Amino acid sequence: MGIISRDAAAYKSLRAQLDSQSKAWDAELKKKSDDLRKLEDDFRKQGPSLTPEQVTEKRKQFETQMGDYQRQLNSRRKQLAEGEAQSAQPIDMALTEILQQIAVERGINLIIPRAATVLFSSEIDVTADSLQRLNAKLPRVALKLPPPQSAPPATPPKSN
């Protein structure tokens, strides 16, 4: 399965879409990260001139924004992972159908992944044939991202 998942056109198209989406989100999240870093730097610079109440309020604001950033980051990662799994299902189903067809055509009772074998004859290797058929049957798939989960708003930390 490793060669198929590496070389099949549908898997390649899916990886390209995942990479593109990830890069777009990374750019957006980098801006938020930079804004948080700037907010933290400003807080450190202003620290000595702030009253204890102002320090507490600024710290709460920063921690709330940092929590929101972390939740958004985790949500995006989860979205990508779920989108990848959901989008790969049609590829896996098509490959299963193809392997069943090959098994019937060749009178094969068992197909074992190459990685699970130590030694085998190239005569029984179905990798190239299944890859060719999969590329013809399903040259690409669309990335289907689940909707983002709306995280509950951050509750500011309680002060003592």
For residue 153, the model assigns a pLDDT of: 52
What pLDDT, on the 0 to 100 scale, is given for residue 117? 87
| Number of domains forming the structure of the chain | 1
The C-alpha atoms of residue 56 and residue 102 are separated, in whole angstroms, by 68
Q: What is the DSSP letter of 114?
A: G
Give the domain range for residue 100.
2-137
Residue pair 109/103 in contact (Cβ under 8 Å)? The answer is yes
How many CB atoms sit inside 10 A of residue 42's CB? Answer: 12
Cα distance between residue 94 and residue 137, in whole Å:
8
**Distances in whole angstroms, Cα of residue 70 to Cα of each of 67, 75, 78, 149:** 5, 8, 12, 13
Q: Identify whether 142 is part of a domain.
A: no
The answer to whether residues 87 and 143 touch, using CB atoms and an 8 Å cutoff, is yes
> What predicted TM-score, i.e. pTM, was given to this entire model?
0.76
Query: Is there a domain that residue 89 lies in?
Result: yes
- Kindly state whether residue 157 falls inside one of the protein's structural domains: no
155, part of any domain: no
Is 156 contained in some domain? no
What's the pLDDT score for residue 160? Answer: 44
CA dist., res. 57 & res. 64, Å (int): 11
12 falls within a domain: yes
Distances (CA, A) of 137 to 10, 90, 94: 10, 11, 8
The pLDDT, as a whole number, for residue 15 is 97
Per-residue pLDDT of the chain (160 residues; tens, 9 = 90+): 589 999 999 999 999 999 999 999 998 889 888 988 898 888 888 878 888 888 888 889 889 989 999 999 999 999 999 999 999 999 999 999 999 999 999 999 999 988 888 888 888 899 999 999 999 999 999 999 998 876 555 455 454 4
Q: Report yes or no on 129 lying in a domain.
A: yes
pLDDT at site 59:
87
pLDDT on residue 120: 84
